[in-house]
A and B are shown apart, each in its own frame.
Chain A
Amino acid sequence: MLLLLLQESRILRMFVNSTDESGWEDTALNWLVAALVISVIFTGVMLLVKWFKKKAARNILQRTWSGSRTAVLILLGLIPIVLTLVIVWYGTRNFFNYVGVGGLLKGIVFSWLLYVLFMFAGHLLSPQWRREIF
């Protein structure tokens, strides 16, 4: 549904450099899907990292996560998202040619926003984790 809405909206145009070529909508949509998938993957990875670190904590001090520690973890997750997106962007001809640098930057921001949103949502799943962030 969201994708359909995106297809119809002007939002897609924001993520490509050129709309002259036919099929630009597919490229833009694929780029957004890539950003979405990457953000979901890294949300999962970062939540797993947190779970692992908490489980492996050797004492109460290590297992207790302050708000800032959680914030740092979320911020750290932004880095691999950028790297992965750049690799995907550079490795895919269509993305490189039609999404361009501007679309790349917008895609990164989009992916970050989704990732942060998912991280917050992920913390809502457990009462303990909810208290660690809110």
Chain B
Amino acid sequence: MRNIFVAIGGSGAKVAEALVRLLAIGFPITRSKETNVLTSAGGTLEFWVVDPDTDSAATTDLNSCIKAYKSLEGLLGEKWAISIDKDVRLFNPLDLPGVNNDGNTLRSLLSAGGTQSTEDFLDVFYKPEELDIEINRGFYQKPFIGAAVMAMFAESLTQGTGTGGQKDLFNQLKSEQANFFLCGSLHGGTGASGLPVMGKFLRSEKRAEKGDVRWQIGACLLGPYRLPLGPPFGADGRLVTDELIEEKSKFFDAKNERSKPYRRAYDSLGEVERKQLVKQVLLGFYANPDEICQRAHQGLLFYHNNVLNRRDLGRVFDDVYVVSKPQPTQLTEWSNGGKSQANPLDSAEVVAALTSLNFFAGSTVGGGTEYIVGASTEERDDKLQSMDLYDLPYYSIGDEIVDPERTFLASSILVHFLSHEIPWDVAAKRWSGIDNLRRGYLHRAGEKAKRSDATAYKEAANLIGESMRSMVDTSKTMGWHAQVSRILDHLMSEQSIENMEKKGFSDDEPKAKFVLGRSSIAVSSFQIGRWYPKGEGAISRGEYLRMIWSNLYALKQDIVAN
């Protein structure tokens, strides 16, 4: 099965990052028929990013995250989690084939001259500043700019002369079973304009083959979940001239205390780009926090009226999820795109990534031909400003319900076990209580193999632990309760060693339990020591860990009162 996550714009790329981290942690999307364990291993996952902002920090973060995931894959083999393509396929909507491929403004893209030029009509639809603004850093929360570019881009995908050879790519995909999951914001520029266009493009490609194409197309629309800072200044009704740009540039002076949240974005640019930035702000090309909710509302109406059920295409998406927050989290640093827009991962993006897992697991949202928007979180006083892991929505694998909090808990116990419960420093032949794992090290070169495994398991445990921390640690992320990462750290640390101690002299049952939020797992190190995959061939590290993880997840739990 080929799974393709299409991240459209910066928000989509952040959700992609969250998805990679969830998979690294161990989130499953299937139950293996061979080993009967819950796992994500078996298929492939690739990431496509559609974004005119080629310097996007979100894409850079995604690439780093995939690199770490590949390290984990290198350490554990392919049986721990799904195989992710190491290369993110970047689609730059401005990188159009033919005569239109010239420049980074709407005017240069739409008025390429010749018989197909639309120059005469441009002034009817767009203001001069909209036509002339550089759009290689996104569409500044203006989908009406992005929509025109995206439409041209979608059309270019079917042309054989496309820059990336996309026609061949889609022809090849038509012969495969593929799950496309599109993700972008409702209220931004790139996501809001690109997601419907890409959805319609994929659906029309599928329909063109008269039902022979085994594609599933899902989407997650991100409503407002974080608020950018307002613009550093306004034009005050004045004409934007070089003098005004010069004057407003002084705002970013280091002595100006008010400029502090804005300065990093400004300082990261060169001289020419700084002037462009000031000009963009003066002309109103920035993400305006006051308009976000209204734009999301318009976006939803647009989807309802023009995207979801179409006369020509029918249902564009097989499943649609909408994720938002009752009260968006306030960002503390300003950016207008590019390298400086390094937003921390938000809890809403983790929720969106979970919806993609539900989709890739083959689970559908109930409701037949209707689109159902499920509200999976309960009413809370803090309006989800600081979530706990039990606030995350469950998803399904067939008839099984996957509880994200319990998944985190099982993974943290696994990390603890690998790091603190196995006597790696002692010769394997002397191990006691973990006989099945030891058996693999009793041959002549066993000790060398054990040392190599010890290093790999410890590094893998670090990477899995780091993936968990980087999703919920409040110093790196937004929208989580601080205690979540504290408890996870404690569970993974040596301090939790008592939780895994056995109850009595001849009773291997645990005397305590691991508790995370509303989930609990009680297991002793001796019980885990008995777990080992059945099979005659060599067992890979990933296979071993996956079996332990799946068993941990399946252990009976008591209800934890909170």
Contact = CB atoms under 8 A, between A and B. Distances in A.
A64 B426 contact: yes
Contacts of A67: 427, 430
The dominant DSSP class at the A interface is helix
Contact of A131 (B423, B430, B529): B430
Interface string A48-69: 0000001111111101111100
A128 interface: yes
A64 B432 contact: yes
B337 to A, nearest CB: 52
Interface string B446-485: 0000000000000000000000000000000000000000
Interface in A23-75: 54-61, 63-67
Contacts of B431: 60, 64
Nearest to A59: B525
Interface stretch (B106-114, B292-300, B357-365, B494-502): B494-502
B423 A61 contact: yes
A54 to B, nearest CB: 7
Contacts of B333: none
Given A59-B524, A59-B526, A66-B426, A128 B505 contact: no
B432 A60 contact: yes
A63 B511 CA distance: 17
B432 A63 contact: yes
Contacts of B426: 64, 66
A51 to B, nearest CB: 12
A64 B426 CA distance: 8
A66 B511 CA distance: 25
Contacts of A54: 432
A23 to B, nearest CB: 50
Contacts of B433: 57, 59-60, 63-64
B429 interface: yes
B515 interface: no
B436 to A, nearest CB: 12
Interface residues of A, number: 16
Interface string B525-553: 11001000000000000000000000000
B36 interface: no
A61 B525 CA distance: 9
Contacts of B506: 55
A132 B505 contact: no
A55 B432 CA distance: 10
B90 interface: no
A47 to B, nearest CB: 15
A60 B430 contact: no
B68 interface: no
A68 to B, nearest CB: 9
Interface in B502-533: 502, 505-506, 511, 524-526, 529
B434 interface: yes
B429 A60 contact: no
B497 A64 contact: no
A132 B431 CA distance: 8
B477 to A, nearest CB: 33
B102 interface: no
Contacts of B497: 59
B451 to A, nearest CB: 15
A60 B431 CA distance: 8
Interface in B392-424: 421-423
A59 B430 contact: no
A59 B432 contact: no
Given A64-B426, A66-B426, A58 B501 contact: yes
A60 B427 contact: no
A131 B439 CA distance: 12
Point out which of B426, B497, B505 has the most chain A C-beta atoms below 10 A from its C-beta: B426
Interface in A59-118: 59-61, 63-67
Contacts of B529: 60
B464 to A, nearest CB: 20
A59 B421 CA distance: 7
14 contacts: A54-B432, A57-B433, A59-B433, A59-B500, A60-B433, A61-B421, A63-B433, A63-B526, A64-B423, A64-B426, A64-B430, A65-B430, A67-B430, A132-B432
List 10 tightest A-B contacts by C-beta distance, closest first: A58-B501, A60-B433, A131-B429, A59-B525, A64-B423, A63-B432, A63-B433, A60-B525, A66-B426, A132-B430
Given A59-B502, A59-B526, 17 more contacts: A54-B432, A56-B505, A60-B421, A60-B422, A60-B423, A60-B433, A60-B529, A61-B423, A63-B432, A64-B426, A65-B430, A65-B432, A66-B427, A66-B430, A67-B427, A67-B430, A132-B430
